[in-house]
Structure 1
């Protein structure tokens, strides 16, 4: 069909005003299925391909032709910044037909929210947490608000596929539809879907509709990609190379500021000058440290400060300042960021992105690279891998540059196979089960246990949880006064439960540290965890501050700025690394392939690592003797199967192997001493892995492995079961053991 002709006149006018010569493939395909079918739709296409318009042009056309009697389209996004960004674009588009566009999140004025409740209409943009708040606190308004809801658009849906926040989102969608008596179509948007079929099933769960995934012609992607390696001292792996690349490997700033010389960051410093760039790091601590160093280079070289910072612990003012500067096409500032800028906020025309070390996922790599390359230019990503020189007495694993090998594996998996991490299934999300139980009961009032179970257990995200598990949970919650049983046998929220539910932090299911807001005079800088004693220094907002006073009752820290650089601390960041990445890392070491994006130092460091692995025999021997009874095991498997293998060795194999001194660097290698021989090791681990044991056998005695936010309110037996059966990847661990045995033959 001619999709353009089907669009409403105001949409056609908008397209003309933008100067578009034709519709993009994703817009043609999306219009066809949204106009002519009644299924859910998953739109997967590269960043800046026009997915948002592809979804909203037909949705707004249909809404203008037959105005809904309530909110007609619910747009769910993972970040407030993404909502704010899309709000302006949608408002401009909807101005002529008079379709209202609303926002509902913590920064929106109450007057706007009250106006929506009085006149429910148009498009509502919301985060999962604000949707939770809406269902909990405006329960009676839901039928009026959403009774004629036609569409739910879920942006950046890939970010919802591997954790409880996505589970929460889909639970809320199901609860809302049932309460409002509506049957909206779901439209998922993402640039990084690795398994469209699995993602489509996830999107459609709990509906009576299938998911259509329009096939878009695979356009030839052009990337500007480089990867360089640096030791954190002047001597580099590529110093003996005969041919040098045209780009300077050691930046001039190293010589100008020798007291702060970090060749990797000097390289970033030089190649961001006169450009608008992003520098991605994998943690808030690293983000602060990198920003401090880059600003120190500015000061040492008598240059104006040209670096900003953006991460989740900064105040709204600091984040918005960085976002506004990035939208300014005349700005030449560089922003150091974490995953907060990984998703689809329009941050203008960025010239290049840098990545310090390798991200954990292919999805993260693609999202971060996709921040650049808008407005006709190809995406551009410069990887910067940094490590300390291993000491001469270091053990074998320390001679392998793990971030460099991981970065190559991420890139190659996508180039060769278009691999992106699939949805994470098979979990037992007891933490979220607690959360949705309390939310459902708090919003509905007294319910019998059977009524409560009938509302919560049928939610598709809880399909693996049994009725017996739920009975165990409810009995436990009554015992700890999170639930209270009435004289009639009904259940209400107990006094202890009210303290949890009535706290605004209840709306979020992701783990939050106990945070203190940091103030310098009248300026709020952001938040930190576990503030140090008065007189000690902290790092936040890319600068260093001395703590003057701590108000623990109000969770506030007061400080003043000083010179210098120190480490920052905000809490641990865990990496969920898929088994395919580790398998490809092993292949990177074993193959002779040259990768065209490797720069001089990185190529030299890879040659060194391959020679180290070849001499050690790592290609066909996962178990390497380090001398005497000391051994190192390279399983080449993902985070959760690695964790299962650790426990198999320590809890099942240790007595037979004479195992001791166990140490692991997840998910790369394990070091230990043992009395058994190499042959005995393989025989014993194969026998133990093949046994039909209870997954709970891999939980240590007296261990209660609390991982998720509300695990502390879940009975120990369910916590252990959720960890053993839903976190430990025992099937993949068994495949890993089989591969190790096979590699020796």
Structure 2
């Protein structure tokens, strides 16, 4: 090493001699002192900046110098594939020091789990759901397992913080903290964050009140400007032709915005004779493992993926990142861009291939927004009342019973339990928790709604669509949604597409959720259920700026230039530089407000019913009764978007909440009063409405 690192001597020796490193990377050196001090830390560096080592090296140094024993470190990540990828590296680092690391997630068998419980490793790689499974297991002595825990490292912390899995994670950590004999140091890792201090405070939880310091560590030179290109190809089939013709001999990673699109592109590329691998969440474990192995070893190939490869999985020596259509956030784009430029002399690059005018405009808007230096703040969704309900039930399983008067002690004032008293009252009054002498335990309603397969449903905080398992002989290919199995597919007249291959359906067993198939030469189709996604105010307004003349900071093919001209022509009467556009048609009034679905639905909730507002991300459509003066006077202070009763089923554990509270939870997560106010008060440049309406 070029100079002393302040790591433990044995570790520093192996970094220099076993790895052959002449020096640590900037973040790795900058993190040593704060991590070794015991402070909670958020470590930020560009993708491939060495974040794993920035956390693990000083933590391992503490482990050696302070004589930790037993399960001392938990390393959580949002994806099983990421944990699989990390295992060999951390196994090497711990072996240098005579320590051990082990892996525990949904794909790990019972024998490996029993070995972990009988002789716990020093570091456990796992997911929040698997931690919950350990906590609620009757065969685990929780206090014995977690008493020596000193550190929890959360990889890709932004991915957790943006959703309910993050609330679940921090709630589980508070329960583990109560079992541990030491204050648990919390370390988060991320490459893309617009508000790091807020995320760190959220992750620290009870450590803030306990006086544990929190430090954001960001180091390393900013990466060089990437090579960006934007093209319009018009279809997935054309995209396959273009990708097959480009960069032969190189490893190319293509991100798709849906599983169905990934399957179509993979089939098309293989049809072009391109060695292609595919990754998405509905593939079987065997298919995913084969792909992960190929990612690291193959060279002249294309890897097609949904967001599953967006996070920090090592896919080897990648040359090109190609984006089919567009992601829906700058943060997601930055994660994907960071998959390239990892080796010396290589540069970051991205090629956007748009298959529709709508997605071309989204890509152009995203690139324009990125060019302005914007990165979305990561904000945990508000009102996690359903997670509070899950936590009460999980605690009852974990402990067998808990004292009603002392439940707060388990979460130490965590905001996840801000409405805990109200939620607990409902659980007790509706039979989800039964009470005896001030003690609460699992009740008959919880047994009925969540008791199947030993309360397996309580371990996951998100709802997975029903899928049928697809098998060729004894080999599992993956899973498909029932909507993929129309009459023609079931009769074997049309093929099914899965894992990049076409299959003829031989038999469907609806009771066992099983589909038997055999190979088919013709192209098939596959669909998974999905809902239109609301987009942020910033993303939609960026599209407006592109429509008004801003060009994206990327080289554009002639096809792209022509497509942009066509799109601007189509939208010319819907956007105006002086303000929003209001236009009356024969049957309705349309406001092209370009503010995102959340702002539009919030505003719709404040308007009179006779306005009959209908919203998209780009516009609000009203009945002829629309009155501009009344619109301007909308009271948004208490407005909450309407939530249909059926929509509550999409909120996990909603059954354990009163119906009105479950709907309020969804509404509070959808509301956007700030940007709705901007629509109400913003200038309207063009109002093609009669004087009585204006």
Say yes or no: TM over 0.5. yes
Structure 1 pair 49/700, CA: closer, same or farther in 2 (3 Å)? Answer: closer
| 1:58 Cα offset (Å) | 0.9
**8 Å contact from structure 1 (residues 473, 715) kept in 2:** no
| 1:268 Cα offset (Å) | 1.9
| 1:129 Cα offset (Å) | 1.0
| 1:734 Cα offset (Å) | 2.1
| 1:139 Cα offset (Å) | 7.7
Structure 1 pair 577/211, CA: closer, same or farther in 2 (3 Å)? Answer: farther
**8 Å contact from structure 1 (residues 168, 432) kept in 2:** yes
| 1:110 Cα offset (Å) | 2.8
Match of 1:688, SS state, is coil
Q: Tell me how many residue pairs correspond in the alignment.
A: 674
Aligned runs of 1:640-679 on 2, under 5 Å? 640-648=598-606, 652-655=607-610, 657=611, 659=612, 664=615, 666-676=616-626
| 1:310 Cα offset (Å) | 0.9
CA distance in 1, matches of 2:130, 2:140: 16
Residue 335 (structure 2) pairs with residue 367 (structure 1): yes
Aligned position for 1:409: 365
2:413 to 458, 463, 468: 458
| 1:130 Cα offset (Å) | 0.6
Residue 503 (structure 2) pairs with residue 549 (structure 1): no
Structure 1 pair 185/617, CA: closer, same or farther in 2 (3 Å)? Answer: closer
CA distance in 1, matches of 2:177, 2:293: 37
Structure 1 pair 740/359, CA: closer, same or farther in 2 (3 Å)? Answer: farther
Aligned runs of 1:339-378 on 2, under 5 Å? 339-376=307-344, 377-378=346-347
CA distance in 2, matches of 1:270, 1:410: 26
Aligned position for 2:677: 734
| 1:155 Cα offset (Å) | 0.4
Aligned runs of 1:69-468 on 2, under 5 Å? 69-137=69-137, 141-207=141-207, 208=210, 209-232=212-235, 262-271=237-246, 273-296=248-271, 298=272, 303=273, 305-328=274-297, 330-376=298-344, 377-387=346-356, 401-417=357-373, 419-425=374-380, 427-452=382-407, 455=410, 458-463=413-418, 465=419, 467-468=421-422
Structure 1 pair 573/349, CA: closer, same or farther in 2 (3 Å)? Answer: farther
Measured against aligned partners, the alpha-carbon deviations of 1:552-587 in whole angstroms (never above 9, x if no partner) come to 232211112223233312221553532222222222
| 1:511 Cα offset (Å) | 1.2
CA distance in 2, matches of 1:127, 1:639: 32
Aligned position for 2:656: 713
CA distance in 2, matches of 1:79, 1:182: 28
**8 Å contact from structure 2 (residues 263, 499) kept in 1:** yes
Match of 2:650, SS state, is coil
CA distance in 1, matches of 2:342, 2:522: 37
Aligned position for 1:518: 470
Measured against aligned partners, the alpha-carbon deviations of 1:112-158 in whole angstroms (never above 9, x if no partner) come to 33333233341111111111101111585222222122211100111
Match of 1:550, SS state, is strand
| 1:161 Cα offset (Å) | 1.3
| 1:192 Cα offset (Å) | 1.0
**8 Å contact from structure 1 (residues 446, 492) kept in 2:** yes
Measured against aligned partners, the alpha-carbon deviations of 1:489-517 in whole angstroms (never above 9, x if no partner) come to 53321244235142434311111112211
| 1:601 Cα offset (Å) | 1.9
Measured against aligned partners, the alpha-carbon deviations of 1:631-664 in whole angstroms (never above 9, x if no partner) come to 432222234223323444xxx2342x4x4xx654
**8 Å contact from structure 1 (residues 204, 210) kept in 2:** no
CA distance in 2, matches of 1:612, 1:575: 23
Provide the alpha-carbon RMSD of the alignment.
2.7
Aligned position for 1:4: 5
Structure 1 pair 453/532, CA: closer, same or farther in 2 (3 Å)? Answer: farther
Aligned position for 2:690: none
CA distance in 2, matches of 1:168, 1:3: 40
Q: Which moved more, 1:358-367 or 1:501-510?
A: 501-510
Structure 1 pair 424/187, CA: closer, same or farther in 2 (3 Å)? Answer: same
| 1:713 Cα offset (Å) | 3.4
Q: Which runs of 5+ in 1 are unaligned?
A: 233-260, 388-400
CA distance in 2, matches of 1:145, 1:497: 27
CA distance in 1, matches of 2:67, 2:532: 46
